[in-house]
Chain A
Amino acid sequence: MATNFLIALACGLGSAALIIFVVRVLVTIFAPKSLKERIQETKAPFQHSGPGRVEISNPSVASFSQEVSGKNTGIRQVYFDSVTLTGTGGIEVAALLNTSGQSSQARQFGFISRISRDEIQKRQPQKEAISLEAVLSPPGQSRAQYGTETVHKSNSGVANEAFCGSAG
């Protein structure tokens, strides 16, 4: 029994060694350069799509972003110039950032920055329109031409009737 076991074990290990030896000889003959190949890192480096404008209006989201970017998360460099998070709550963004591993977090950061740039582009004309109104009209006035329009007096001859109303 023991002899059979030793014979079987020797045959098995010998066959394993023989197969590996044959493979090594074949590789040495046909592809000698491949013996020196080193294992490549499979992790794809994070590529930032470019700096964007960032506005963090929600303080809880801002603190969460600082907390995440402050950790050693494996992200090489994350630039946050601005993030606009209109319509997205802090809990939703936290869940978005917390769903997967580090590389997916990096992708999600990029996703957020892309969203923010689109959002900023959408909001840009609206901001300009609002700012024109705000500059030309003081608060409480609906007409931007106030002060430049000529106010005509009525025919009743009463001074300042247009502003004070008619006494009759």
Chain B
Amino acid sequence: MGLYILSIVGLPFMALAFFAVLESAFSSAGIWEVISKAGLDLCRISIGIVGAMFLDVQVRPATGTIAAFVLLLELLFAAGAMLVDRRATDLGILQQSTRAYGILAFGIISMVIPAVLIVLNGSH
């Protein structure tokens, strides 16, 4: 359980911190742009996790259906993050911080979904 919690909490946060620090070091972008990009990166990473997750996670009744559902859910979260990123003013978001936190929340929640599936079903 400790390793699972580390994989849920620790690794995304460390990856986020790592890429955010690198982005801040090597580009002149502001802090909110760095966080927004980190959130989008989390969405992409979660899609990659789902792509390889079902080798280990065995959902007995209908693995293919659930895998497709989870993958589409991840894609929807990524699309939502991109929507907030691109059309923030149309959505009534005026502060850069609100937009960055929204994108980051989309990224983290999309990372949580495969983590929850792993915790529920275990792995071989």
Contact = CB atoms under 8 A, between A and B. Distances in A.
Tell whether A and B belong to one assembly: yes
Interface of A: 1, 4-5, 7-9, 11-16, 18-20, 22-24, 27, 31, 34-39, 41
A5 B116 contact: yes
Contact of A23 (B4, B35, B109, B115): B35
Contacts of A34: 30-32, 96-97
Contact of A39 (B13, B88, B104): B88
Contacts of A39: 88-89, 93-96, 99
Nearest to A40: B96
Contact of A8 (B30, B96, B116): B116
Given A8-B115, A8-B120, A34-B31, 9 more contacts: A9-B116, A11-B8, A13-B112, A16-B112, A20-B105, A22-B13, A23-B35, A37-B96, A39-B93
Main secondary structure of the interface of A (DSSP, over half): helix
A18 B16 CA distance: 13
Interface of B: 4-5, 8-9, 12-13, 16, 30-32, 35, 88-89, 93-97, 99, 101, 104-105, 108-109, 112-113, 115-116, 119-120
A37 B115 CA distance: 34
A14 B116 CA distance: 12
Contacts of B4: 11
Contacts of A41: 89
A19 B108 contact: yes
Contacts of A12: 8, 109, 112-113, 115-116
Given A24-B101, A34-B31, A39-B96, A15 B13 contact: yes
A19 B99 contact: no
Given A24-B101, A34-B32, A19 B16 contact: yes
A38 B32 CA distance: 11
Given A24-B101, A35-B97, A36-B95, A15 B9 contact: yes
Nearest to A36: B95
